[in-house]
Amino acid sequence: MNYLCASKSENAYMFKIECRDKESMARTGILKTAHGDIPTPIFMPVGTAGTVKGILQRDLMDDIDAKIILGNTYHLYLRPGTEILKAAGGLHSFMSWERPLLTDSGGYQVFSLTGNRKLTDEGAHFKSHIDGSSHLFTPENIIDIQRIIGADIIMAFDECTPWPCEYNYARKSLSLTHQWLDRAIIRFNETDPLWGHNQFLYPIVQGGTYEDLRKISAEKVASAGLDGNAIGGLSVGEPPEEMYRIVEIVNEILPDDKPRYLMGVGTPVNLLEAIDRGIDMFDCVMPTRNGRNGMLFTSEGTINIRNRKWIDDFSPVDSESPSLVSRFYSKAYLRHLIISGENLGAQIASIHNLAFYLKLVGEARKKIEEGNFRKWKISMVKKLSERL
Amino acid sequence: MNYLCASKSENAYMFKIECRDKESMARTGILKTAHGDIPTPIFMPVGTAGTVKGILQRDLMDDIDAKIILGNTYHLYLRPGTEILKAAGGLHSFMSWERPLLTDSGGYQVFSLTGNRKLTDEGAHFKSHIDGSSHLFTPENIIDIQRIIGADIIMAFDECTPWPCEYNYARKSLSLTHQWLDRAIIRFNETDPLWGHNQFLYPIVQGGTYEDLRKISAEKVASAGLDGNAIGGLSVGEPPEEMYRIVEIVNEILPDDKPRYLMGVGTPVNLLEAIDRGIDMFDCVMPTRNGRNGMLFTSEGTINIRNRKWIDDFSPVDSESPSLVSRFYSKAYLRHLIISGENLGAQIASIHNLAFYLKLVGEARKKIEEGNFRKWKISMVKKLSERL
């Protein structure tokens, strides 16, 4: 027997591990939230401004079977703004989404505003990408904003360092991120949820690709004893091997009985390799953003639907897809829509790719339960790396 | 009794009139096609390039209940092109649409390419708006292309004159349109459908806003004895009263027992006024194009969702709508999406508006059957003219 299914979670309310793979650090679990249980490993579609781009909530549930989606604090703070979100009773109500939500803290977005932001100990001064207006994010007001948004899982404010990043910059940045974490936890503990349901705060491990910094950060984050932990600052340009190396180092330190969330990752192969290394949660714009450009993920490999070879291929986009949409439309039709710049093409490709990602993590879960994850992963990584 | 329900159609296969309003020229009917029966009056959503912009075929059927949609010969000829459409087995198969289709002849599009087209007796030479390549449309090849596309109803090639238009230009243009009609009918009669189902050819009445030209054209079109007849060259900038006047003049001449299609019209009020004057079929980009810009049609009047007054209106987009989407999402959320340039906003607004148009013509049908169309129309025109 090369697997083990049992609960090892100390906090059964928040996260319960169900099965462990004996050949890897992969595991399955159930993440409990007020808006429903989330089977892990899980992929979370990105709904930046309160919408997964181009997809009806109904299709997110029925076609894609999204268990949890993301919102982004930076975008939601700017539009529609906290006043409207408060009047609506939070984001769940505002966007008519009854399943779980997670909000990113805005750190990644603010630090992408190169030239339009300034860092101080207090927080991050930045100018809106919409109208140039000036704003300040602090670890405290990021908690306050996320209380208003009301996501089930909220993130501590951090600085996401770029790649490559000089050691001294990464070290100083990490120190600030850790100070901000302390302040975020204080604010989180002294405030209450606004909408009658519990919220969980996740801290974020940073430290670039520096092993010593990542270890320091993982120790810091682990010692906070929160209900889940995230790894940020990866998939920002570094080679995948670097990302896997850092994930291994960090996951040796992060508590085993809490969910581990690898932020902003990644390709289907990245997901499988990270699940192998003990990651439970993922989010990434890749399935939607690349889908809009005509890149389709399938279990046989990647399709660039713009390629001329699909021009008269009237077979379904993906006959193996759980999504009706992928089985309903042909590759030739989807190619026509994408080439013609028709929004329906972006919609079909986004639905297809998200359904594929959800199916992939669901299969990983099943393979872990069956005790043959490693073997399946190796064969899948090979197939997923193909260009069709 | 101020109405009369009975069949007056000589050609029961193609079109059967069911009820007539005694106070107006309004009537209800059933238009039979190989892909299903169409209750009239009917509105046909525009699917220019083989897609109703941003709307899944499933939603066109389930949410909007579209009975027939349009394709455009000009756009489909350029992309995906007749080779692909032929390989696909026609447009129904290519776009996975099993209900009826109508294709516009391309006349309107070609004549919109000001500066990029040249008219001769032979046909219209034009340059593609996509890549500048040179092409020629003739009355004959427009039939051939529409045989390949395979729509249930196809249109004769015509010149759509602008408004205003000098009398002499309108007269000469009409003469050409009539010559082209003769040639189109010859080609139509000497060719067969390619995909195993019948196709109907509709000629188009032109003549600008000149009463004598419109009468000549209506006589010409009526004498062709085809299965349905269209009125083109309206809703191109002229005042609505001019449009209604021309429709009245033309409908006095067009055979009463054939469907009458008013091309490219219009606002909800335009539809009701034209139904009153004996029109059975409509198409227009307004519900989708204006929807994308945030204009919503409701039974209480028009909403500009960008208006600040909707910013915190959390009531449904339209609680009276037959579309689930309109009842699911709030005005405040839709406003946020439209203001933020999120495609989901365009999708929701397009679905809502099309569902509204289909509901409106369905209600007109019901009111004609019940014998109180005129009264209802007057009250609706008043309400529909409101700005909310």
Compute and round to an integer the Cα radius of gyration of chain A. 20
Confidence of residue A109 (pLDDT cuts 50, 70, 90): confident
**Residue A343 contacts residue B346 (beta carbons within 8 Å):** yes
How would you classify residue B171: left for phi > 0, otherwise alpha for psi between -120 and 50, otherwise beta? alpha
Question: Is the predicted pLDDT of residue A164 greater than 90, yes or no?
Answer: yes
How would you classify residue A268: left for phi > 0, otherwise alpha for psi between -120 and 50, otherwise beta? alpha
The token duo for B262 is: 């008013």
Mutation choice for A interface testing from B60, B305, B342 by most A CBs within 10 A: B342
- Enter the DSSP assignment of A330: B
Q: Which amino acid is at A14?
A: M
SS3 A234: coil
CB-based contact B343 A58, cutoff 8 Å: no
| pLDDT attached to residue B115 | 79
- Strand B281-283 relative to strand B42-44: parallel, antiparallel, unpaired? parallel
Closest-approach residue (CA) in chain B for A311: B84
Confidence of residue B143 (pLDDT cuts 50, 70, 90): very high
CB-based contact A79 B348, cutoff 8 Å: no
Closest-approach residue (CA) in chain B for A345: B54
CB nearest to B51's CB, from A53, A94, A337: A337
Residue A38: strand pairing partners: A31
CB nearest to A343's CB, from B84, B87, B343: B343
Question: Is the predicted pLDDT of residue B239 greater than 60, yes or no?
Answer: yes
Q: Which amino acid is at A9?
A: S
Q: Which residues contact A248 (CB under 8 A, 6 or more apart)?
A: A277
Q: How many contacts (CB atoms, under 8 Å) link A and B?
A: 115
Residues A218 and B35: their CA atoms lie apart, in Å, by 63
Residues A270 and A285: their CA atoms lie apart, in Å, by 14
SS3 A82: helix
Residues B380 and B272: their CA atoms lie apart, in Å, by 8
Q: Which residues contact A343 (CB under 8 A, 6 or more apart)?
A: A54, B53, B54, B343, B346, B347
- Location of structure tokens 């990752």: A265
Question: Is the predicted pLDDT of residue A8 greater than 70, yes or no?
Answer: no
Confidence of residue A7 (pLDDT cuts 50, 70, 90): very low
Q: Which residues of B touch A311 (CB under 8 A)?
A: 80, 84
| pLDDT attached to residue A360 | 98
Q: Report, as an integer, the average pLDDT of B323-341.
A: 97
Q: Report, as an integer, the average pLDDT of A339-368.
A: 98
Question: Is the predicted pLDDT of residue A344 greater than 60, yes or no?
Answer: yes
* pLDDT top residue among B85 and B4: B85
User: Nearest-CA neighbor of B328 among A91, A93, A90?
Assistant: A93
Confidence of residue A13 (pLDDT cuts 50, 70, 90): low
CA distance A302 to chain B (A): 23
CB-based contact A336 B55, cutoff 8 Å: no
Q: Which residues of A touch B347 (CB under 8 A)?
A: 54, 56, 343, 347
Q: Which residues contact B283 (CB under 8 A, 6 or more apart)?
A: B43, B44, B45, B46, B70, B102, B104, B261, B263, B264, B265
SS3 A24: coil
Q: Which residues of A touch B53 (CB under 8 A)?
A: 342-344
**Residue B103 contacts residue B199 (beta carbons within 8 Å):** no
The token duo for A371 is: 């005790």
**Distance from the Cα of residue B195 to its chain's centroid:** 24
- Alpha helix stretches (DSSP H) within chain B: 57-62, 73-78, 82-88, 91-94, 107-112, 139-149, 167-190, 211-224, 240-253, 268-276, 286-292, 324-328, 331-339, 343-370, 373-384
CA distance A332 to chain B (A): 8
Q: Which residues of A touch B324 (CB under 8 A)?
A: 58
Q: Which residues of B touch A55 (CB under 8 A)?
A: 344
Residues of chain B whose beta carbon is less than 8 angstroms from a beta carbon of chain A are: 49-59, 79-80, 84, 87-88, 93-96, 311-312, 314, 324-325, 328-330, 332-333, 336-337, 339-340, 342-344, 346-348
CB-based contact B324 A50, cutoff 8 Å: no
Residues A143 and B155: their CA atoms lie apart, in Å, by 61
Q: Report, as an integer, the average pLDDT of A352-374.
A: 98
Instruction: List, for residues B23-64, the tens digit of each pLDDT value.
Output: 999 999 999 999 999 999 999 999 999 999 999 999 999 999
Instruction: List, for residues A124-135, the tens digit of each pLDDT value.
Output: 999 999 999 999
CB nearest to B88's CB, from A54, A314, A344: A314
Question: Is the predicted pLDDT of residue A320 greater than 50, yes or no?
Answer: yes
Closest-approach residue (CA) in chain A for B78: A340
User: Nearest-CA neighbor of B39 among B62, B63, B67?
Assistant: B67
CB-based contact A347 B343, cutoff 8 Å: yes
CB-based contact B333 A94, cutoff 8 Å: yes
Question: Is the predicted pLDDT of residue B137 greater than 80, yes or no?
Answer: yes
| pLDDT attached to residue A5 | 54
Residues B259 and B31: their CA atoms lie apart, in Å, by 8
Residue A295: strand pairing partners: A304
Phi, psi at residue B185, to the nearest 5°? -65, -40
**Residue A204 contacts residue A234 (beta carbons within 8 Å):** no
CB nearest to B332's CB, from A88, A329, A348: A88
Residues A58 and A30: their CA atoms lie apart, in Å, by 23
Q: B373-384 and B343-370 helices cross at what angle (nearest 10)?
A: 150
**Residue A79 contacts residue A51 (beta carbons within 8 Å):** no
Q: Which residues contact A287 (CB under 8 A, 6 or more apart)?
A: A45, A297, A350, A353, A354, A356, A357
- Report, as residue numbers or ranges, the catalytic residues of B: 104, 283
- Report, as residue numbers or ranges, the catalytic residues of A: 104, 283
CB-based contact A344 B93, cutoff 8 Å: no
SS3 B136: strand
Mutation choice for B interface testing from A129, A326, A333 by most B CBs within 10 A: A333
Mutation choice for B interface testing from A60, A325, A330, A340 by most B CBs within 10 A: A340
| pLDDT attached to residue B13 | 62
Q: Which residues contact A364 (CB under 8 A, 6 or more apart)?
A: A26, A41, A271, A272, A275, A373, A376, A377
Residue B164 preceded by cis peptide, ω within 30 = yes
- For residue A52, the number of C-alpha atoms closer than 13 Å in the C-beta half-sphere is 34
pTM metric for this prediction: 0.96
| Minimum mean pLDDT range among A60-69, A90-99, B1-10, B233-242 | B1-10
Closest-approach residue (CA) in chain B for A316: B96
CB nearest to A328's CB, from B49, B88, B96: B96
CA distance A267 to chain B (A): 24
- Location of structure tokens 């900038």: B237
Residue A269: strand pairing partners: none
**Residue B369 CB coordination number (10 Å):** 15
Residues B126 and B118: their CA atoms lie apart, in Å, by 6
**Residue A250 contacts residue A218 (beta carbons within 8 Å):** yes
| pLDDT attached to residue B8 | 39
| pLDDT attached to residue B7 | 40
Residues B5 and B26: their CA atoms lie apart, in Å, by 12
Q: Which residues of A touch B55 (CB under 8 A)?
A: 344
Closest-approach residue (CA) in chain A for B95: A333
CA distance A333 to chain B (A): 6
**Residue A221 CB coordination number (10 Å):** 27
CB-based contact B93 A314, cutoff 8 Å: yes
The token duo for B388 is: 């909310």
Q: Which residues of B touch A95 (CB under 8 A)?
A: 333
Query: What does the CA dihedral B304, B308, B311, B314 come to, rounded to 10 degrees?
Result: -50
CB-based contact A53 B342, cutoff 8 Å: yes
**Residue A169 contacts residue A161 (beta carbons within 8 Å):** yes
**Residue B85 contacts residue B195 (beta carbons within 8 Å):** no
Phi, psi at residue B202, to the nearest 5°? -110, 130
